[in-house]
Chain A
Amino acid sequence: MEYAAHDETSFVRPAEVGEMELYHAKTWLGKYVFSQDAKTIAIQYAGTAIAIGMVALVLSWFMRLQLAWPNTFAFIDPAYYLQAVTMHGMIMVVYLLTALFLGGFGNYLIPLMVGARDMVFPWLNMISFWVYFTAVVLLAASFFVGGGSTGAGWTLYPPQAILPGTPGSEAGILLMLASLAVFIIGFTMGGLNYVVTILQARTRGMTLMRMPLTVWGIFVATILALFAFPALFVSAIMMSLDVLLGTSFFMPAIMTMGNEGSHVGGNPLLFQHLFWFFGHPEVYIVALPAFGIVSDLISIHARKNIFGYRMMVWAIVIIGALSFVVWAHHMYVSGMNPYFGFFFATTTLIIAVPTALKVYNWVLTLWRGNIHLTIPMLFSIAFLLFFINGGMTGLFLGNATVSMPLSDTLFVVAHFHMVMAVAPVMVVCGAIYHWYPKITGRWYHEGMARFHFWVTFVGSYLVFLPMHYLGIMGVPRRYFEITGTTFLPDSAQSVNASITIAALVVGFAQIVFLYNLITSAFNGKKAPGNPWNATTLEWQTETTPPGHGNFGKELPCVYRWAYDYSVPGVEDDFIPQNVPPRNAQA
């Protein structure tokens, strides 16, 4: 057997940059509000993302109430339903998950895990957060303007997005487009920072192939985002121009509300291509950090090296690259040239191979491990169930022929919730519990955490598994209600009701989660510096929580990969990355 990933003796190269000069804030404002410390910025990102995410969660309750008991809740009319669908989807994908994984976990973990004192451009990092914050404010403002927020679906397809007949077609859609543009500007600042930090500020000995998979996932996801978001940026600008200046990028000659419109010659499909050129990689922008983090959680809590580290790295890179050539699998029935279907079905199913390999390697990491069923491990197992399930239904929707009866139905909604909503959220929860003792220096309440886990795990499955079958029966997505058809049995409505009950219970558990996180930060038990006996550098800091500058007087020097768990001949079942070979046997 060749132990290539594990080369204890290889020469330790000097760090590519020397000690960086840290900025020390002098005022309270500079320390806590306009902080330039990546750890503080991370908390600001995470707090903002979770706060706006709660709004999206509440919107999902309204949708579910309407679907289960149509015509019972007077405040939910068809327009309101569409606005809820749209804002829920957009907030969850962009403003919660993207911001939380990259702005939150990225900021906290990248410098600590690669052994840097901070991000290389701390000031830019601070601005990045405040630009993101502005985007969230713009988005939230659209709830309150005349006509309300946009109800065009999170895909914002023109022409309807900017025509009367769609809610929020006046101010709502413009605010949404503006908010997205601002978000992308802020993200680009942060993203360049993460990439440069990973490439340039790794500590001595931290070669790329010794980086923890968490960093690899965030790294590749950030690169994807830097390439994908510009497509959304230009489409947002072009659509705004169609509204404000009367250009016709996406607007053909049409009749609207009985009158001939003023546009001519634009193409709505152009928008869809641009949107999905962003939209598909966006799925992986959310998924890759989750892949990386869950690899580390499984390895640490099974006390075993991640199986096939090199393959895992290459799979992340290959999936990232391929994710740019599959976008039109969202458009099989869009009216684009249907011959594209051959190409995009093939690329889409090819991408399933590296994805499946990742699953095998997670599972093989459990094999002959020493599995501790801690909260982070439980959430990792939950991730596996949801991800495997959603991955399987992806093979239905990626294959043009198979997808046809299913596209635009609740089957699609169930699929993407499994694979890119619930699965990454499981990782988010697992990761928060895992790093909580490091971030706060205290333990969360174990009982509440277990309650949160079991309800979320079982409850989410009960929400989204039956939803597939509503879709198979033919219930379309984005439907305010579907009574009066001849093909749906009455029992479909009881499925809807049970889904809603499960969704409300799951939602309640998230409140317990937040309560636990907030109260334990003040009165939780004190936690030691490396409670999980983990190898990566963030657990080897001098103080917990790590102080300004992360490490002590000297930056750690790295001698080994991140997965030296249960090494034969060594008594401890882990060897931190900064332990030199000669000290390892002790």
Chain B
Amino acid sequence: MFAAIVLLVLVLGTVVFHLLSPWYFTPIASNWSSMDSTVTLTFIVTGLAFVLVNIFIAYCLIKFRNKPERRAEYEPESIKMESWLTILTTVGIAAMLAPGLLIWKDVVTPPDDSMNLEVLARQWNWSYRLPGEDGKLGAVAVSHTTADNPLGIDPSDPFGQDDIIVYDPVLHLKVDQPVTFLLRSTDVLHNFTVPQFRVKMDFVPGQVSYIWAEPQKEGSYDLLCEELCGVGHYAMRGRVIVDSEEAYASLASRSTHLR
């Protein structure tokens, strides 16, 4: 009896905690609210299963607990029941997988009108490179890296000559403008996470990975590295500021001087 009650308290307490505690996602600031919906859907389906199965256990603990005259039933198996449970579970799982796969397709395909910009992660700081007037980022290689050219821009590539380089951990983005972040590292693995954007992706030295998002809410957001990259990992913070169109325009004209 006592065990059943403790079990029920823990299980129902979990539901109450989930619904009433103030601790949940930070408000979203990007286009990925569909991702939040899949999380909610998964919470509903799995939450129901979690509660039902555990209540069933608690019920059994009370109903079938040992008494002197009690004897268990002898029932090796029931193919029928097992088949029904398999079908039911498969349906529940498909209901969570299908929307997941559909949205994953959006995650891996940046829209045509998205703007490319490079994020460079190094132990333990952030820099950014935006295309100049030609709209293209120039080629880069570790072998071109020098003290004056820390990003390793290829001096012979004309596209690279007008690239705008930002050595500051603060990145400005324009609201409602989809951005594809091209992630490049010159030392170890890192990760690009803005909790309010929901999406995240690792940097892998030797290749360029990508992730895209459309910032939809003006504001200033923390940028975190979420892939262990050495002792400075926890301190590798940056900032992403989403500006209104006007604010971004005045800023863009200023930052060409940063070149």
Q: Are B39 and A311 in contact (CB under 8 A)?
A: no
- The answer to whether A404 touches B53, judged by C-beta atoms less than 8 angstroms apart, is no
Is B172 an interface position by the 8 A CB rule?
A: no
Contact residues of A between 363 and 415, Cβ < 8 Å to B: 363-364, 366-373, 378, 381, 384-385, 388-389, 392-393, 395-396, 399-402, 404-409
B114 proximal to A (CB < 8 A) = no
Contact in complex: A82, B231 (CB < 8 Å): yes
**Which of B61-69, B128-136, B154-162, B244-252 lies at the interface with chain A?**
B61-69
**Residues on B with beta carbons closer than 8 Å to the beta carbon of A359:** 53
Q: A166-B231, A310-B77, A402-B39 are in contact. Are A366 and B60 (CB under 8 A)?
A: yes
Q: How far is the CA of A492 from the CA of B24 in the complex (A)?
A: 11
- Given A349-B93, A474-B25, 5 more A-B residue pairs with CB atoms under 8 Å apart are A252-B206, A305-B74, A335-B204, A371-B66, A373-B3
Q: A366-B61, A369-B60 are in contact. Are A399 and B38 (CB under 8 A)?
A: yes
A342 and B104 form a contact (CB under 8 A)? yes
Which of chain B's residues has its CB closest to A5's CB? B76
| Contact, CB under 8 Å: B230 / A254 | no
Can you sample 12 A-B contacts with CB below 8 Å?
A163-B188, A165-B123, A304-B74, A345-B100, A363-B60, A368-B75, A402-B38, A469-B24, A485-B224, A487-B221, A489-B23, A568-B74
Within the complex, what minimum Cβ distance (angstroms) separates A301 from chain B? 9
A400-B142 contact in complex given A253-B206, A492-B23, C-beta closer than 8 Å? no
The reply to whether A338 and B108 contact each other, CB–CB distance below 8 Å, is yes
- Per-residue CB contact flags for chain B residues 73-94 toward chain A (1 = under 8 Å, else 0) read 1111111011001100110010
A262-270, A275-283, A506-514: which lies at the interface: A262-270
Option from B104, B107, B187, B228 in Cβ contact (under 8 Å) with A256: B187
- B72 x A304 contact (CB < 8 A): yes
A252-B82 in contact (CB<8A)? no
CA distance A77 to B94 in the complex (A): 46
**Within 8 Å of chain B (Cβ to Cβ): is A339?**
yes
- Give Cα A310–Cα B23 distance, bound, in whole angstroms: 44
Which residues of B are at the interface with A, using a C-beta cutoff of 8 A? 3, 6-7, 10-11, 14, 17, 21-26, 35-36, 38-39, 42, 45-47, 49-50, 53-54, 56-57, 60-61, 64-66, 70-79, 81-82, 85-86, 89-90, 93, 96-97, 99-101, 103-104, 107-108, 122-123, 142-143, 145, 183, 186-189, 191, 193, 195-196, 198-207, 209, 220-222, 224-235, 237
Which residues does chain A contribute within 8 Å of B196, judged by CB atoms? 487
Residues A335 and B108 in contact, CB atoms below 8 Å apart: no
Interface pair B200/A352, CB less than 8 Å apart:
no
Whether the Cβ atoms of B72 and A368 lie closer than 8 Å is yes
Interface pick from A104-112, A134-142, A191-199, A475-483: A475-483
A473 in contact with B25 given A255-B186, A395-B46 (CB within 8 Å): yes
Provided the pairs A366-B60, A366-B64, A458-B6 are in contact, do residues A335 and B183 lie with their beta carbons within 8 angstroms?
A: yes
Q: Are A153 and B100 in contact (CB under 8 A)?
A: no
Tell whether A159 is near chain B: CB-to-CB under 8 Å. yes
- Tell me, in angstroms, the Cα distance from A485 to B89 when the chains sit together: 41
- Specify which of A385, A461, A495 lies most central, judged by the most chain B CB atoms within 10 Å of its CB: A385
- Report chain B residues within 8 Å CB of A458: 6, 10
CA distance A304 to B60 in the complex (A): 13
Complex CA–CA separation, A204 to B230 (angstroms): 58
Chain A residues closer than 8 Å to B227, beta-carbon distance: 408
A565 to B235, CA, bound (A): 59
**Which B residues are CB-close (under 8 A) to A360?**
53, 82, 85
A307: interface (CB < 8 Å): yes
Residue contact A399 to B96, C-beta cutoff 8 Å: yes
* Residues of A in contact, count (CB < 8 Å): 120
CB atoms of A573 and B72 under 8 A apart: yes
In whole angstroms, how far apart are the Cα atoms of A501 and B53 in the complex?
30
Query: With A3-B76, A305-B76, A472-B23 known to touch, is A408 a contact of B193 (CB < 8 Å)?
Result: yes
Considering only CB atoms, which chain B residue lies closest to A256 in the complex?
Answer: B187
A465 at the interface (CB under 8 A from B): yes
| Nearest-neighbor residue (CB-CB) of B28 within chain A | A405
Q: For the complex, is A157 an interface residue (Cβ under 8 Å from B)?
A: yes
Q: With A311-B77, A399-B42 given, is the CB distance from A255 to B122 under 8 Å?
A: yes
User: Does A159 contact B221, Cβ atoms closer than 8 Å?
Assistant: no
Nearest 3 pairs of A and B residues by beta carbon: A252-B206, A335-B209, A474-B195
Q: Using Cβ atoms and an 8 Å threshold, which residues of chain A touch B72?
A: 302-304, 368-370, 565-566, 573
A187 to chain B, nearest CB (A): 27
User: Are B57 and A476 within 8 A (Cβ)?
Assistant: no
B23 to chain A, nearest CB (A): 4
**Chain A minimum-CB-distance residue to B56:** A363
Contact present for B75 and A307 (CB under 8 Å): yes
Residues of A within 8 A of B71 (CB): 303, 370, 566, 573
CB distance from B197 to the nearest CB of A (A): 9
Chain A window 443-472, contacts with chain B (Cβ cutoff 8 Å), 1 for yes, 0 for no = 000000000001001100100011001101
Check A567/B35 contact, CB under 8 A, given A252-B205, A335-B202. Answer: no
Residues of B near A237 (CB, < 8 A) are none
Contact with B along A306-344 (1 / 0, CB 8 A): 011111000000000000000000000111001101100
Bitwise, A1-42 to B at CB < 8 A (1) or not (0) is: 111111000000000000000000000000000000000000
Q: Tell me whether A189 is interfacial, beta carbon within 8 Å.
A: no
A519 near B: Cβ within 8 Å? Answer: no
A152 interface residue, CB < 8 Å from B?
yes
Kindly list chain B residues whose C-beta atoms are within 8 Å of the C-beta of A407: 200, 226
Residues on A with beta carbons closer than 8 Å to the beta carbon of B207: 252, 269, 335
Report yes or no: B39 in contact with A268, Cβ–Cβ below 8 A.
no
Q: Is A160 an interface residue (CB 8 A)?
A: yes
User: Are B189 and A157 in contact (CB-based, < 8 A)?
Assistant: yes
Docked Cα-Cα span, A409 to B196, in Å, equals 14
Contact B54 A373 (CB under 8 A): no
Residues of chain A lying within 8 A (CB to CB) of residue B201: 333, 335
Residue from B11, B57, B186, B229 in contact with A160 in the complex, judged by beta carbons closer than 8 Å: B229
CB-CB < 8 A to B66: which residues of A? 303, 370-373
B62 to chain A, nearest CB (A): 9
Closest approach, in angstroms, between the C-beta of B82 and any C-beta of chain A?
Answer: 6
Complex Cα gap A307–B82 (Å): 10
Per the bound structure, the CA–CA distance linking A257 and B96 in Å amounts to 45
Give per-residue flags for A191-215: 1 if the beta carbon is below 8 A from chain B beta carbons, else 0: 0000000000000000000000000
When distances are taken between beta carbons in the complex, the residues of chain A under 8 Å from B46 are: 392-393, 395-396
Given A5-B77, A349-B93, A476:B193 Cβ within 8 A: yes
Judging by beta carbons under 8 Å apart, are A478 and B11 in contact? no
Q: Is the CB of A401 within 8 A of B104?
A: yes
Distance of A305 Cα from B22 Cα, bound (Å): 45
CB-CB under 8 A from A487, the residues of chain B are: 26, 195-196, 221-222
